[in-house]
Structures are given as C-alpha cells and as structure tokens.
Structure 1
Amino acid sequence: MSAPASLPTRGNAVLTNLRLVDGVTPEPQDGLALVIEDGLIADVAAAAFVPASVASVDMGGAFVMPGLVNMHNHFSLSLPGPGGDAVSALGPHDLALYMADAARRTLLAGVTTVRSVAEKAGADFALRRAIEAGQVPGPRIRTAGRALCCTGGHGHDTDDTIECDGADAFARGVRSQVALGADLIKLMISGGIAGEHEQISTAQLTRDEMSAAITTAHAWGRKVTAHAGPSAVIAEAVALGLDCVEHGYALTPEVARLMAEHGTALVPTLVVTRAQAFFDDLGVPPWMQQRSLGAAERHLESFRHALDAGVEVLLGSDMPPYWAFEGTSAIVRELEHMQAGGLSATEVIRAATAGPARWLGDEERYGMLRPGLSADLIAMREDPTASVGALRTLDFVMASGVIVRDDRDGRSA
C-alpha cells in the first residue's frame, strides 16, 4: 500500500456549458470551453470542437470568471477586544493552525490569491510553503511578512509588526523581511482606526525613515505599500516612490492626482468603515467602533476623489474575506461597496483580478482566463458584469485546475 498523497496542487479538466467572463472582454462570452492541463489553461476553445470522448465538467450555464485576488489580507488579524485578544494569546503552534484554517476558508470564499500585509511571527512564510507543497489548502500567498512601524506606532502592540526608529533601523527592517522571503514591504506611516492612543491623522514616520524604507525595498526589487490615512503624509510618501496606499481615509483631489501621476495604486478597504456587525462579533470597544464608523463618509469621498483622478484601485477587504457579513461574505461586500462608490461592475472585476495580478508582477501567471495562465476561477449563477452582487451566488471554486468547492445542486468537492 502506497503512502497517502498530499493535496493536489495542479489539475486537469475541461469545463463546458459556461458563460465566460475572462477578465478582459467586458461582456460574457458564450459557446466556449476551458481546456485545463496541469493547472494551466491550455485552450479557450469553441465548445463544438471539444471531442465528446473528453471527460468534461458541465458548468450548467454558470458564469465563470477569474478567482479573486485580495490585496489586503491578514490571516492572523487581531483587533482590540476579546475576539482579537484570543488570537493574540495563541501560542506558535495554535497560531499556525488558526492561520491554516483561515487560509482554507479564504480559498473556499473564492479568493485564489492573497497579498498579506502584516502577519504574526513569520507564520505566513511557513503557511505559504505548506500550501505550495499541498500540505494544507489555501490561496496563493504574496506576503509582506511583518509590517514596519515606529515605536508605539500603528500595530506596535501585536506581533505582526516590527518597531523601528530612524532611517537605518527602517532599512534594516526591510532587509529582515526580504531575508525571510517577503514579496513586498508594508509600512505604517500614519495612525488608523485600531490604535487607541493615536488618531487616523497622526503622522508616524519621518521623511528620512520613509525614504530609507522605500529606497531599500526598491533596491531589493520589492514594491512598498503603506497603511495611511491623512493626505499630507500620503503626498510625501508618494513623492518618495510609494507604490500603493492602504485605506487612504482622507485623500484630497490634489493628492489623488499626485497618486495617479506617480502610478501609486489604492486599496480602499471600504468595508472597514462600514463593519459594525463584524466589530460586534469580536467585541471591539466603543472607541474603535466610533472612530471607524465616523470615518465612513470621508472614506467614501476619498475613494471618489481617487476614481475622479484616475488612480488604479484594487480589491482589499482587511476583514477576513470569508467572514459571514450582511447576508454574504466580507469580500463580496467590499466588491459591492466599490461598485456603489462609482466603479462599474466590469471595472470592479478588473480591480479584483487582473489589476492586482499586474501590481504583484504576476500578470503572466494568473488574473485572467486565457491560455498559459493558471486555472484559478470561480463560478456563479448570476452575471457579475451586470452587478458584482452576483458573487452572492458563487458556488464553485477552482485553484490551479483543482476543484476545491462545488456546491452546485448540493454537490461538494
């Protein structure tokens, strides 16, 4: 008897009877089949030319689109309050298992790639290796490792940050995460909604500190993203070469135009200022709830300034993407907020698939459904190009050609 195999990491399949939303063409395409070999899309063929002898998966007329890419992910998120305290109290072994379960649930929610932007204790690197080896199920991981903050800065009280002070310390902080295998670098350049002794408007890094971190990261071929709220600190960081802004709670038209001119992307995480039910689930204290919910109107205005200026916006939930929230998942609510805020459904799809892949330098690996790219895809009963609310009917997930979820007609993968 042979030893049990690891989980499959690449699969073969032919998907037929589908309506294709490939991430490029603005409207669904009929009469096509996806031929998948060794985890990659080998062909997007006319269905009539697929031999009857080839075993196929009948998608029942479902809409098929690329898997989601969540650009603001935390498998080890711990907000103030009893729920977050329980995560922070986990030992290293319990934390690894907790994060592995979060990865599994994230994949089942239709997120086939994540960009983690601050995880605890370096466990994200071990989790990435385990997923790639087929030891545990989960999405493709691109990670920043631990984020860099100043002493007492945003996130300083959890194990997903490293406190640095001065330009040399921030340069060393960047190198320490690159040495572990970080794909990008995350900076905390201002306060936020989760820091009790700060405000969203609190500037936290000096110009020299930001410059040292960004210059060092770029020298090592890594992009830099930053947790940031106020417009003045964002403008300074953008001028220094910042590649992406997280949240951007208080952008002005002028700073949004500067971001567009420099090619700095925005991951707005609109759901985090509209998340009272989630906060209630975790027992988040009143001061944080008031700060978050009180920022919602300005946050949406900031998002619209970015759209008006032509800033590239990318999907990011910050909340666990799989969290049951307002009748769906947190990731779907974020997509719905993006559409309600001014993006068309087709633009939201691009911001959730091809756009993130391009930012991550992976546009030739995934993010669209075309030959040569990974067969990462999701399917749903309704048309996402009409409304991204169609993702509420998501019932099928495939990662690298492997079916990991199939709830159609009561089936399970």
Structure 2
Amino acid sequence: MGYVIFKNATLIDGNGGDPRYNVSVLVENNIIREVSECGISLQSADVIDCKGNTLMPGLVDGHMHLGLIEIEVVDIVRRNPIGLIAARMFRNMRELLEQGYTSARDTGGADAGFRLAMENGEAVGPRLRVSGPCIAQSGGHGDNRGPSEYRPYYEGNMGFRSRLADGVPEVLKACRETLREGADFIKIMACGGCASPTGGPNACQYTFDEMKAAVDVADNAGTYVAAHCYSDKSISRCTEAGILTIEHGNLLERPTAKLMAQKGTYLVPTQITYEMVLEHAKDSLSKFMYDKFIAVNDRGYEAIKIAMEEGVKIGGGSDLTGRNTKYASGAIAYQAKAQGAMNAIVSFTRVNAEIMGMSEQIGTIEEGKLADIILVNDDPLKNIDLFKNPKDNILVIMQDGKLYKKMI
C-alpha cells in the first residue's frame, strides 16, 4: 500500500465553506482516508509539507472540446489528416491535466476511445465523460456548410464533429447511434453559435418535439442531454423539454432562470472562450464571427449573476480552441468576475462533478473520495487570477492517488 500525507495545508474542500487551516490529509493508494486538523502521523507515508499553501480538489472542466485543435473551427475535419487531429487531441488531454484539471467533460467531438485510453493508462489526461458528435439540425450550429454551398454534409470521424438530424425520427436514430458508439451523454445544438458560418446566438434551433425526442432516448439509457444555447428562447425550450445542462447561456433572462431553478437545470458558462478570442485571436476570425463574440461576452457575466440570484446550479467550462487551450485553467478566474472566487471554485469542482455524474467520487476533498487533489500557491480567495499561470502557481497535481506534478 502507498500512503501520502499532505500537512500544514489551508484546505478549500470544494463544498463552499470557509477555509480550514493547518489541515492534514491522508491518502491511501487512490482514496482520501482522513482529513484532520489534529495532524496525522504514519511512519511509512510520504509527506508533502504544504507550507500554508491551499489544498483543493482537482479542477473539473465542465465544457471543453479536445477536437477544437484550431482557432477557426469550421472544417477542421476537412483541413487536417485524421492522425494529426488525434495527436493534437491527445496533446490537449495532457495539457488539461498539466493545468490542474483531473476530470473533464468533452461536449462534442471526442469518442469513447479517448476516455478508454485514459482509463487504460494509454494516455495522460483528465478522466473523461464524452458526448461523441453533437446532434445538429441542417443549417444549424454544427453544420459547417456556408449559405452558398450545396454539397452534402460531411460528419468526419475525428475532431469536432456534428451529426445532422432533422425531425423526430432522425433525432431518435442519431441519439441512439451516438449512445451505441459509447457516448456517456447526448449533446444537441439548440441555438446558433459564435463559430457558425450561418446564424447567430439569437437563433433558436430544434423544435420542442425534437428536443424531447433526444431527452427520451437519454432517459431510457439512464443518462441526460446537454444543449448548446445562447438565446433565452432556446434556453427556455430546452428546460421545458427536460434537458439537464444549458451550455453557455449568455442571453439568459430572469423568468427563464426561475424556470431552470425550478426544474433543476444546470447552467454551464464558458466566459473564458470569448475573452481569449477577443484578446488573442480576433485576427483569425471573420468580422461576422468576431462581432458575435463581442455581442455575447459582457452579456454572459450578467447571465451568471441572474442565475446565481435565482438559485440556478452553475457549473463552468473552458470551451477553448487551438492554442488558446493553454489558458484553460484561467476559466475559473473569469467566472469569478461574476460569481466571486469561492463560488467559482465550487462550480469548477463540486458542481461540475455532479454534472459528470461523479459527485460520489470526485469534486470535494472528503474521506472516502478519490484522491484528485491540487496544491496552489498562496490563497486563491484573495488572488483567483493565480489560475491564469498554472505552471508556477499549481504546485502539486495528484490524480487518482498518483502524483503527476510536485514542485514543493
């Protein structure tokens, strides 16, 4: 058996309570066995002196895409050979773990093979839950054809992918095929998007009956549906249909937030992706797409505040593309601009673990849970921006009881 003791730590356990000081945590193999303020002594244990720095649960990215390997996401699968896409997706997996994400949810593109590669020890990265290809309507977000094209749609088999389905029978079949291929949940495109060649965030896509068809398939399989949404109308329709997670949600209005809280629907904001595009990648986008990013950015912070005030459960994600993925750990800092530091930490630990269906195993530092633990420099409640520099500020990364990084 292997034992590790973290001592002299300030503990933020992921539940949202006040930090605890001078805490010791005992890890046996891959399980947290004891959390104590009285000290822990075990002769055979390896000891990590935290020196007053902050011990936290491993971060959980609630919305990311391993396959978004370029800033310009349209036609990735047509521009790049399959092997190159796969290599870059595995690089993105490793990079996420290096930034403190011990678990993550791929919301469109990665197939079950990436999850299995990590579980079998053949790849390094966060433990994964994957949706496979997104389910999208013709001409909707995920359909990469421009308005002047008449070619058949090409789904591809690697990278960021969508599967077109129109009408209830096609949606039923597409969702069933996706689950047959090993997806953990279903993702539908219920609204236009910033990266679409046509349409925009104010659009509403899929009828109520089509959405309900996806929910019925997921419910029969014991899982759930996530929906790409910006417009308030699409968020409301998805919530009424029984969709569990609203991805992005930037144009959320208060009455719909009340409905989400009543139904137990989660909001998963992705504010960092707009900030990074506006800061680093505006020259890589058409004016049409750039203007859409501008339109949703500030409104997204307002949506988070509305959701908080109405009691909506809030997760969080990075949703970054291309080389912007190296900034993913900063997602928690941008979300804190609306939520505050502690609430953002809870979103990126406990709440995202709930969304992944793993709240009994990860997301908090508690006895009996898996040893997914990070040690961060100093106090993130006073300086949440430290997550923007994970190389220097995340001192220890432990995933499933294994030390992936140790700088102390």
TM above 0.5, one fold? yes
Q: Is the 8 A contact 1:78 1:88 kept in 2?
A: no
Cα deviation digits, residues 148-207 of structure 1 (max 9, x gap): 001121112264110001101111111111112211110101101011211211222122
Q: Is the 8 A contact 2:111 2:182 kept in 1?
A: no
Q: How many residues align?
A: 389
The gaps in structure 1 that reach 5 residues or longer are: 1-9, 409-413
Task: State the match for 2:124 in structure 1.
Answer: 137
Secondary structure in structure 2 of the residue aligned to 1:317:
coil
CA distance in 2, matches of 1:215, 1:186: 13
What is the aligned counterpart of 1:278 among 276, 280, 287? Answer: 280
Does residue 98 (structure 1) correspond to residue 88 (structure 2)? The answer is: yes
Does residue 335 (structure 1) correspond to residue 336 (structure 2)? The answer is: no
User: What is the CA-CA distance between 1:100 and the residue it aligns to?
Assistant: 0.9
CA distance in 2, matches of 1:80, 1:60: 40
CA distance in 2, matches of 1:383, 1:97: 36
Task: State the match for 1:32 in structure 2.
Answer: 23
TM-score normalised according to structure 1 size: 0.88
Q: Is the 8 A contact 1:67 1:353 kept in 2?
A: yes
Task: State the match for 2:256 in structure 1.
Answer: 255
Does residue 154 (structure 1) correspond to residue 141 (structure 2)? The answer is: yes
Seen in structure 2, the aligned counterparts of structure 1 residues 67 and 320 have a Cα distance that, compared at 3 Å, is farther
Cα deviation digits, residues 358-397 of structure 1 (max 9, x gap): 2222111111111111111111112123342243422321
Task: State the match for 1:6 in structure 2.
Answer: none
Does residue 358 (structure 1) correspond to residue 354 (structure 2)? The answer is: yes
Secondary structure in structure 1 of the residue aligned to 2:45:
coil
Does residue 403 (structure 1) correspond to residue 403 (structure 2)? The answer is: yes
Q: Is the 8 A contact 1:77 1:84 kept in 2?
A: no
Counterpart residue identity of residue 334, structure 2: H
Identity of aligned residues (%): 28
User: What is the CA-CA distance between 1:85 and the residue it aligns to?
Assistant: 5.6
- Compare 72-81 and 364-373 and name the one that shifted more: 72-81
Seen in structure 2, the aligned counterparts of structure 1 residues 33 and 321 have a Cα distance that, compared at 3 Å, is farther
Task: State the match for 1:267 in structure 2.
Answer: 268
The residue correspondences of 1:6-405 to structure 2 (distance < 5 A) are 12-24=3-15, 26-46=17-37, 48-52=39-43, 54-77=45-68, 81=72, 88-119=78-109, 123-157=110-144, 159=156, 160-275=161-276, 276-280=278-282, 283-319=284-320, 323=324, 329-332=327-330, 334-341=331-338, 343-391=339-387, 392=389, 393-405=393-405
- Compare 45-54 and 190-199 and name the one that shifted more: 45-54
CA distance in 1, matches of 2:98, 2:78: 25
CA distance in 1, matches of 2:287, 2:384: 32
Q: Is the 8 A contact 1:42 1:372 kept in 2?
A: yes
Secondary structure in structure 2 of the residue aligned to 1:34:
strand
User: What is the CA-CA distance between 1:124 and the residue it aligns to?
Assistant: 3.1
CA distance in 2, matches of 1:309, 1:25: 18
Secondary structure in structure 2 of the residue aligned to 1:61:
coil
Seen in structure 2, the aligned counterparts of structure 1 residues 112 and 192 have a Cα distance that, compared at 3 Å, is same
Task: State the match for 2:150 in structure 1.
Answer: none
Cα deviation digits, residues 280-330 of structure 1 (max 9, x gap): 48x2222211210132222222222212211111111111598477xxx33
Seen in structure 2, the aligned counterparts of structure 1 residues 49 and 212 have a Cα distance that, compared at 3 Å, is closer
Task: State the match for 2:149 in structure 1.
Answer: none
Q: Is the 8 A contact 2:16 2:342 kept in 1?
A: no
Q: Is the 8 A contact 1:266 1:311 kept in 2?
A: yes
CA distance in 2, matches of 1:353, 1:406: 21
Secondary structure in structure 2 of the residue aligned to 1:297:
helix
Seen in structure 2, the aligned counterparts of structure 1 residues 25 and 306 have a Cα distance that, compared at 3 Å, is closer
Q: Is the 8 A contact 1:78 1:84 kept in 2?
A: no
Q: Is the 8 A contact 1:32 1:45 kept in 2?
A: yes
CA distance in 1, matches of 2:34, 2:322: 31
Seen in structure 2, the aligned counterparts of structure 1 residues 165 and 385 have a Cα distance that, compared at 3 Å, is same
User: What is the CA-CA distance between 1:135 and the residue it aligns to?
Assistant: 1.3
Seen in structure 2, the aligned counterparts of structure 1 residues 143 and 179 have a Cα distance that, compared at 3 Å, is same
Counterpart residue identity of residue 96, structure 2: T
Q: Is the 8 A contact 1:22 1:65 kept in 2?
A: yes
Seen in structure 2, the aligned counterparts of structure 1 residues 234 and 54 have a Cα distance that, compared at 3 Å, is closer
The gaps in structure 2 that reach 5 residues or longer are: 145-154
CA distance in 2, matches of 1:124, 1:165: 22
CA distance in 2, matches of 1:404, 1:321: 24
Q: Is the 8 A contact 1:106 1:322 kept in 2?
A: no
User: What is the CA-CA distance between 1:54 and the residue it aligns to?
Assistant: 3.1
- Compare 161-170 and 355-364 and name the one that shifted more: 355-364
- Compare 22-31 and 168-177 and name the one that shifted more: 22-31
Secondary structure in structure 2 of the residue aligned to 1:107:
helix
